[in-house]
Each structure stands twice: as C-alpha cells, then as structure tokens.
Structure 1
Amino acid sequence: MTEESVGKMQIALEELKPQLVIKSQEVDEQAKVVEAESAIAEKEQEKVEAETAIAQVSADKTEAIKLDCQKDLDEALPALDAAAKALNGIQQKDVAELRTI
C-alpha cells in the first residue's frame, strides 16, 4: 500500500513538472520586467534628484534676493514715512508762498 501511494505521488509529481516549468518561466519573465522597470525608476529618481537640487539652488537665490529687497525696503520706509508726514504738514498758505517765489 505504501508503494502504491508513493507511486501515485510520483505520477502526480511528474504531471506537475510541466506546470512547474511554465510557472518558473513566468517568474523569470516577471523578474526581467521588474528589473527593467526598476532600472527605469532608478533613472527617473536620479533625474528628480537633479531637478530638486537645481530647484533648491534657485530657491536659495530667490530667498537671498528677497532678504536683500526686504533690507532695502526697511531702510527706505522711514524716509517715506517722514516725507508723507512732511507732505501732510503742508498747508495752503505754504503753497501760496511758494508760488510767489
């Protein structure tokens, strides 16, 4: 009886070998596809990293310009405020006096 069971198992195993070969080939093909897609993804990742570095340099330059402009603005605003106050202090008689000159 044991020999009969072993014989049946061997027959079943022999019947499954073609399926195993097919599945093995499918796995190999899928592995090649995954490998190719991984290579493409790696190249895209390198491209993204390069573009990110370029964008960061641009952002750093932009931030430096912004800070420089803010510094200039901070220096100019007091003079603008003083000029606005002086302008608001001008009266009609001051304008009339200037016309006589």
Structure 2
Amino acid sequence: MRRRLSPREAARLQGFPDTFDFGPQSDAATYKQLGNGVNVGVVCNVFRALAHRDAEILMTTREGAAILRAIVSAPQALDAPVLAAIAAGQHRLRGTQLPLAM
C-alpha cells in the first residue's frame, strides 16, 4: 500500500519538533516550505563526516587545522539553538493572524 507522508511526518524528516505549528496554511503550502528547506542536522553531519575523512589533508594548512578543530569541538547535536529559536518564534506569533501562504 502506498500513501503520501503527512505534513507532520514530512516536518519530522526535516528535523522540526512535533510542537511546531505551521499555522492556518494549506497542506500544499506546508509541503512546499518543507521541500524548499534544508535539514541543518543532516548538513552538519555530512560536513562533519567529510572533515573527518579529509582530516589528514586539512591538517596540512593552518586554516584547515582550524576548521578541523572547530568541527571536532562543536556539539554533536546542534538542535538546542534551533529548537530555542523555533519556540521563541512560535511564542511571539501566538495570537497573531498570519497571512495564508500561496
């Protein structure tokens, strides 16, 4: 059996928490927003994997070594700042009437 992902399932794949509210817009508008989005967690993990793969090359220059140090020392989960920003934005917009996305 085949079925389309729900907007909530698509949002989860993009890293949105279940508490995120897309407001009174159509499912089509939500799918469009999610399709145009970039999953920060995925990009971070791919970048981290590439840096580890190329660590030997990066260590050959001062700039490369600085990049590698920054990546290695970065927190494993970068969700906390993103989730805080989402929560702040949702709280700020609560009670306001947002225009429907086209």
TM-score (norm 1): 0.25
Pick 1 or 2: higher relative contact order, CA cutoff 8 A, min separation 6.
2
- In our comparison, the structure showing a higher alpha carbon Rg is 1
